[in-house]
Amino acid sequence: NSFVTRTNTCGELRSAHVGQKVTLYGWVQYQRQGLFLVLRDFQGLTQIIIPQDEAHSHVKEVLSNAPVESVVRVTGIVSPRPPGQENPKMPTGDVEVKAETAEILNSCKKLPFEIKDFIKKSEALRMQYRYLDLRSSQLQSNLRLRSRMVMRMREYLCNLHGFVDVETPTLFKRTPGGAKEFLVPSREAGKFYSLPQSPQQFKQLLMVGGLDRYFQVARCYRDEGSRPDRQPEFTQIDIEMSFVDQAGIQRLIEGLLQHSWPEERGSIVTPFPSMTYKEALAEYGTDKPDTRFGMKIVDISDVLRGSDIHFVQNALSYPHGSIRAICIPQGVRYLKNKDLESLKESAKSQFNQEIMEIIRRPDGSLKSLLTKFLDEKKQSELIQALNVQGDDVVLLAAGEHEQVCSALGTLRLLSANLLEAAGLALRDPTAFHFLWVVDFPLFLPKAENPTELESAHHPFTAPHPADVNLLYSDPTKVRSQHYDLVLNGNEVGGGSIRIHSAEQQRFVLEKVLKEDSEVLSHLLEALEFGAPPHGGIALGLDRLISLIVDAPSIRDVIAFPKSFRGRDLMGNAPDYVTPEELEPYHIQVSWPLEEKEAKKN
């Protein structure tokens, strides 16, 4: 209550305050029949008793007629609630304030929706009136937890470990590779700035500049169009260090998260487990495994290798052919036929992958189109390999290793959702399973042209020390010094040890990625002036906080988010500008024909 004219907040009054005269400010949560009202501020609720005597008729008139969500000031005496009228659900439930004076500071007009967490409101309406939505206790709680965590992170990095907080430019130039960047016109004809998708180049240049340890709560920008749970502008905890290796960065991040972790969410155990990219793909079908539950992908190629099943033999004849399966616990009991059909359809539509099902009946026998091709020994081996119990359902896929694993990884998550929707507790909503995924490939074939390569992470990532020679002979086989941090199946951070040799960086850009290195001439030149070995990481703050508070969307942990189409529904941005405003930037808008007609009309 420092610097303000209230004596207390609406959430702090207790029995110890009985008899004190207090001044409270807040919003009218609700009012009942001119007898009492509940006043709310950021910290909580206090019950205000409206006086009924003639001497305080003005106070009664003010408070009885104050519309819900009006801002009022109340001065009165803290009193104990009458016996039997205490409210144990409210921290202030043992007391009430008997109003002596009151003033409406600002009356509220009719609301577009009620300010209550349990009232269902469309997300579009919430975002249009975001300043009202921010009054909800859930959003208040999310933003305050976010603020506390960031403060603790600053404390850990700057006060305990000597990091320097540096702001890097928002107006820069295009970076080759990676996500699409927003362009900002300049007054030089034909020349544009780019909004950086991360401070990547700047943080490396700070290491060349000898800062040793850098960090920033960085605003980043990506022009990715409409993606449901992405934001065009987002926040990273951005970190870079000199003279560090992969293990050093991992220990730093584990310590940072432990130090800043909210007490009310329990404690997290370090060090976090680690898994290679190959292991993650083979066992979970994804590079961001949710390790809160089992149902791992199992290789059953050897079990079925000698069978007479045509599609099995066909798959195993390929160089990277494999037969794999997942076992859905109690699938017979919890999944309907339409659920199994929808799982098969997902594999077909997303991965062009056929799925075969095997059911183990309660008596131990198997029900499947495959059983007639398998003798009892093979069936027994299959049951053992997958640890199939009665009423379990097995989903089996055959084909190219990566495609099979990706399809089964997706089905693993979809079937977990179906099981939970049907009432089987599979994933503990209060558990936080962190995981490091390491040894990613340095390059991947481009989706649109598989003969060309692109960086799996970004072009500044260093090759694995054991694979440096392969960089020049067979770059597709090179592992990288890139590491991702995964939490409950979501990527919450990613980083790498960087290339600090100008010669190696130029080779990667020009010879492997076929990029124009001239765009990065400033960075390449900097690497020639005694650049130290360095590495770093960025944590996605929005995603991390949304997982900690179990928010349905990252928009619920951002004060003023954009819609999934990238629009600000409150301020109606982006918006049109006049031709006169565009003139200094040497830009003219070329309108699509239908918009020209609409503007005419």
Whether residue 134 is predicted with pLDDT greater than 60 in this model: the reply is yes
The CATH number of the domain holding residue 29 is 2.40.50.140
- Asked if 85 and 93 touch (Cβ cutoff 8 Å), the reply is no
The answer on 466 and 387 residing in a single domain is no
Give this prediction's pTM: 0.93
Where is the domain boundary, 397, 422, 447?
422
* CA dist list (Å): 599 to 13, 576, 593: 58, 12, 10
Tens-digit pLDDT profile for residues 205-253: 999 999 999 999 999 999 986 676 789 999 999 999 999 999 999 999 9
**AA letter at 295:** M
Closest CA relative to residue 386, chosen from 276, 282, 294, 288: 294
- Asked if 47 and 38 touch (Cβ cutoff 8 Å), the reply is yes
The answer on 418 and 312 residing in a single domain is yes
Q: Is residue 353 part of a domain?
A: yes
Helix (H) or strand (E) holding 502: helix 502-507
The answer on 437 and 415 residing in a single domain is no
310 pLDDT tier (thresholds 50, 70, 90) = confident
Please count the structural domains in the chain: 3
Tens-digit pLDDT profile for residues 393-439: 999 999 999 999 999 999 999 999 999 999 999 999 899 999 999 99
CA distance 554 to 230: 8
Whether residue 175 is predicted with pLDDT greater than 90 in this model: the reply is no
pLDDT given for residue 594 in this prediction: 65
- Owning domain of residue 49: 15-106
For the ranges 226-240, 485-499, 550-564, the maximum mean pLDDT occurs at: 485-499
- Asked if 407 and 395 touch (Cβ cutoff 8 Å), the reply is no
CA distance 378 to 393: 17
Q: What angle do helix axes 541-548 and 137-154 make, rounded to 10 degrees?
A: 120
Tens-digit pLDDT profile for residues 513-547: 999 999 999 999 999 999 999 999 999 999 999 99
The CATH number of the domain holding residue 540 is 3.30.930.10
Q: Is residue 111 part of a domain?
A: no
Q: If you average pLDDT over residues 27-51, what whole number do you get?
A: 95
pLDDT given for residue 119 in this prediction: 73
Q: What is the DSSP annotation of 434-483?
A: EEEEE--BSEEE-SS-TTSEEESS-TTBPBPGGGTTHHHH-GGG-BBSEE
Tens-digit pLDDT profile for residues 322-375: 999 999 999 999 999 999 999 999 999 999 999 999 999 999 999 998 888 998
The answer on 361 and 245 residing in a single domain is no
Q: Is residue 227 part of a domain?
A: yes
The answer on 270 and 156 residing in a single domain is yes
pLDDT given for residue 158 in this prediction: 97
The answer on 61 and 166 residing in a single domain is no
Tens-digit pLDDT profile for residues 429-477: 899 999 999 999 999 999 889 999 999 999 999 999 999 999 999 999 9
CA distance 418 to 416: 5
How far the first Cα of the chain sits from its last, in Å, is 56
pLDDT given for residue 124 in this prediction: 92
SS3 245: coil
